[in-house]
Amino acid sequence: MVVFRVQRSACRAFLVEAPCATRNDALIRSLCSVFNLRLRLAALVEVLEDVARGGTSALDGQTQIESADDERTKWKADASAGVQHQDVLLRVAMDAKAVLDSSQTLGARRVCSTESELLEKLQHIRSAVAQAFPMGLPPPHHLMQRLLDAESTEKALSESAAALDVLSGETAELWWAGKRFTRDTNVCDVVGKNDKSTIIVTLQKKGEGAPRRESAVHEDERKAMTAFCCQKQQTQQQQQQQQCGVEDEAEDYYKLSSWADPTMLKKSLRGTENIRPF
């Protein structure tokens, strides 16, 4: 299985496995689906944490109901039920966040993302929300309702901030090492037939062209190298100053000798060469 490190931005990288014989069209559609699902889960986790930690009992002040009293009672009951299930909501949110965590995905564990796993986490969130709000979500949480109930990820994210980041599986492009994956060929036609290789690919929207070439040195490494060079330069300057001081003292040390004293002959004739000042 070829391991693809898919990246759209530095904070949205993930791993996906696929055999060399996979058609590029199927691969691109699968990668776009996983990428969009990760966007949907990230937006849903953010909203879910706000609901759980903010306390759903506060919905009474946020919701202005001008209809019958039975609807007011129904939403109050939902709010009290939500308070009892805050731990459940937080737990499923943290579980989904762990799947989206790039440090675990790209770290030593190298966990690959799959569409089935992401859909499973989405279903867990739906079950937890249905358990906390058996009568349905109140109107202030229409965004969460859309994220949960929309059939496609594109519709679910249409009203969120991540709507501009959604990729279309039909028009998206996949790039690796300056090469574009053409949809009518296989993966092995681009990267070779080695099933144990790991490559870094980039998803691009149609018309964006080839991705910008990344720097050979990351920003953190560059800062560390700059700090090391500055520290080494300061150390060298201090050593040079100390050496110059020792050399200056060594150069002037001969002046303390009697043979270097220009008045030594005069002192010897007068017999005052052994007289030292107090």
Q: How high is the pLDDT of residue 5? A: 85
Residue 51 tokens read as 């609901």
Average pLDDT on 146-169 reads 71
Q: How high is the pLDDT of residue 64? A: 39
Average pLDDT on 80-97 reads 73
Confidence (pTM): 0.65
Q: In this structure, are residues 60 and 79 in contact, taking their beta carbons and an 8 Å threshold?
A: yes
Residue 183 tokens read as 């949809």
Q: In this structure, are residues 64 and 178 in contact, taking their beta carbons and an 8 Å threshold?
A: no
pLDDT averaged over every residue in the chain: 74
Q: How high is the pLDDT of residue 169? A: 80
Q: How high is the pLDDT of residue 114? A: 84
> Which residues are bridge partners to 240 per DSSP?
none
Average pLDDT on 153-176 reads 76
Instruction: For 4-24, write each residue's pLDDT tens digit.
Output: 888 876 567 888 888 888 888
Q: How high is the pLDDT of residue 214? A: 67
Q: How high is the pLDDT of residue 93? A: 82
152-45-79 Cα angle (round to 5): 100
pLDDT of residue 104 exceeding 70: no
pLDDT-derived band at 91 (thresholds 50, 70, 90) equals confident
Q: How high is the pLDDT of residue 243? A: 67
Q: What percent of the chain has pLDDT over 90?
A: 0
Average pLDDT on 85-99 reads 80
pLDDT of residue 263 exceeding 80: yes
User: How far are the Cα atoms of 29, 117, 270, 276 from residue 34, in angstroms, in the given order?
Assistant: 9, 10, 104, 93
Q: How high is the pLDDT of residue 50? A: 76
Q: How high is the pLDDT of residue 62? A: 41
Q: How high is the pLDDT of residue 70? A: 44
Residue 17 tokens read as 């496995």
Q: How high is the pLDDT of residue 83? A: 57
pLDDT of residue 116 exceeding 80: yes
* Separation CA 36–CA 47 (nearest Å): 17
